[in-house]
Structure 1
């Protein structure tokens, strides 16, 4: 399938979940997790854009997006620390 179609389907499902809500609890939990991962990916995107002048770069993948989405700003700072001093 074309990536545009897949992204459009996911965006449509997210919009439906925003307006209607998930009727069953596990589906709501999965939906909230996906939204947190997307927000974490946005955190990392903005970090990479604004941190490029400082030499800060954290790759955006499922693990780093999950960490930054679930933990928020402290998670992003932890990823920067791990990237700079440990790896």
Structure 2
């Protein structure tokens, strides 16, 4: 019985605490995962737009800040970035 108390019980308690933490943080983890996926898609869209940018007059940088804005706001975020680029370039 002593081997169980000193060897197995701490690992069992750590496992229970980890499961409880995952259950409590399930929804925030889902939101964070969704934001990461949307940011990656936005980064891919910025990278695809980058070679065409000079041809159509859109010059947004391919970076994490722009991708996060687009990931959070979607298409309105793209418009916001274009307006900021236009306003700050003048």
TM-score (norm 1): 0.60
Partner of 1:52: 54
TM-score (norm 2): 0.59
Tell me, which stretches of 5 or more residues in structure 2 are unaligned?
1-21
Q: Distance in 2 between matches of 1:45 and 1:73?
A: 16
RMSD: 2.1
Tell me, which stretches of 5 or more residues in structure 1 are unaligned?
1-21
Partner of 2:65: 63
Q: Distance in 1 between matches of 2:74 and 2:28?
A: 22
Determine if contact 2:66/2:81 at 8 Å carries over to the other structure: yes
Determine if contact 2:53/2:60 at 8 Å carries over to the other structure: no
Matched positions, count:
66
Q: Which of these two proteins has the greater Rg computed from alpha carbons? A: 2
Q: Deviations over 1:16-67 (max 9, x none)?
A: xxxxxx9722221211110111112122223323222133211122211011
